[in-house]
Chain A
Amino acid sequence: MTNVQADLDPAPLVQELVEKSKSGKLKWEATADRRAFVVSVGGNTTFRIRLVESTDVDEFGQPQSVQIPVLIMLDEKGNTLWEIRSRDVKAKGPGLYDLFSMARRIGNKLDERIGSAISALRQL
């Protein structure tokens, strides 16, 4: 039975997403928004990770604009099921910044591009 009194902990989900991304099982795809990447799993769930603008306070107490990753879990109809922000992932281990880096690397096919750039450089 679901214990609705306990807060939902996104850390295990984020950790699993990072691990599966690292092992190449999650094929993140780039979107028209350069700061967003998507992947679908199980035929009924889509994850979208996106950098959003947020306001933080710098060391001098001044407000500063920062970009933070937000992970959104969508159902098969495209409805938002869960929106996870960096501060929600409290457990030690990989966080949303790690996940966003992995998603960007896979979605932009960075490894393949670096490989072809290196071979192009070697031919110079």
Chain B
Amino acid sequence: MDAFNLVAGIASLVGLVFSFLAFWQAKSASTAAREARDAVRIRTLAGELEVICVRAEQLLDLLLYRRLPEASLRVGELDSLLSEISLREQAHLAVGQVNSLLTVREQVSSIGDVILRGPAELRNLQPDGSVIATSRRVATTLREVLGAVKSKVESEDEK
């Protein structure tokens, strides 16, 4: 009977160890899966930001060539994209980056307002005018945010 109890005790201890190992492995797998999912999300975010950057640079070109109807459409597009990304990707962006995106959205919106005011505001479309300067700042800020996100992607790749 004693021998049976000893064997049963050892078996339960071994079972406990195996359960702990299984739990540990499951936890590691879950962490790895979450990290992989985050890495994919950040990569997708970088792709979306790249698109926004290109749109912002196109807006600058359209303004420089005074193609105002197309510029106005681009403003609307950028406004929507920036609204979506700053709300959707808050978990993957630092607060400072979300702040930059929100500020940029307001700047884009101000460009749209000036364009809609019509020919009286065309002096602002000179290369040193406020619209062009703001459009340049928007493109630069977006590239800075994209750079930070891409650097995060690269550091994830190195892991």
Contacts and interface: CB of A to CB of B under 8 A. Distances in A.
Contacts of A38: 103, 106-107, 110
Given A29-B103, A29-B107, A43-B98, A77 B83 contact: yes
B100 interface: yes
Contact of A39 (B90, B103, B113): B103
Interface in A63-82: 74, 76-78
A91 to B, nearest CB: 27
A113 interface: no
Interface residue SS majority, chain B: helix
Contacts of A46: 102-103, 106
A87 interface: no
Q: How large is the interface on A (under 10, 10 to 19, 20 to 34, 35 or more residues)?
A: 20 to 34
Interface in B89-127: 90, 93, 95, 98-100, 102-103, 105-107, 109-111, 113-114, 124
Nearest to B113: A33
Interface of B: 83, 86-87, 90, 93, 95, 98-100, 102-103, 105-107, 109-111, 113-114, 124, 130-131, 133-135, 137
Given A29-B107, A74-B106, 8 more contacts: A30-B133, A40-B102, A42-B95, A43-B90, A43-B95, A46-B102, A48-B106, A78-B109
